[in-house]
Amino acid sequence: MKTIIIDAVMVLVVLLVIAVAGLVIWKNRTEKNSSVSVVATSTAPAPITSGDLVLGAGQKGQVLDIVIGLNSAKQGIFNATLIGATTTVTRNFSPKDPPYMFTGYKVTVTSAVSGQVTFHVAENV
């Protein structure tokens, strides 16, 4: 039994030596016979140019660079406050209205379901 274990250990040592020698040979060959070139690639994500914000009355949230607060929602008319970097406007919105231009963005109400109003904000490009 003891000789079987010693034989097995010897076989493992021989296999380990062969593997290390193979790695050394492979490394030397690839370093001598290959040329490495580095190519820069852009992995930056596409900029976000629009987004939606769903609010209930009394709630406030941000989409892109605009903070929107929904003040009230009555009979299809939604009173909201838009806050930009230097400008604040309070006005009524309706899903039937054309986009409202605010600090370089188009703001629209796209839907109102169960007291939840969806504002869509997109860059004015």
Distance of alpha carbon 99 from alpha carbon 93, whole angstroms: 9
Find all residues with CB under 8 Å of 58, minimum gap 6, and list them: 70, 71
Helix (H/G/I), strand (E/B), else coil: 110: strand
Q: What is the pLDDT of residue 114?
A: 84
CA–CA distance, 121 with 61 (Å, rounded to integer): 12
Q: What pLDDT is stored for residue 17 in this prediction? A: 58
What are 59's two structure tokens?
């709630």
Which pLDDT does position 11 carry in this prediction? Answer: 59
Tell me what pLDDT residue 36 has. Answer: 53
Domain ranges in the chain are 1-37, 50-123
| Sheet arrangement for strand 88-93 | 60-63, 66-74, 77-83, 88-93
* Blockwise average pLDDT, block size 10, the chain, 125 residues: 62 61 60 56 77 95 95 92 96 94 95 91 89
Write down the pLDDT at residue 35.
Answer: 55
pTM of the model: 0.64
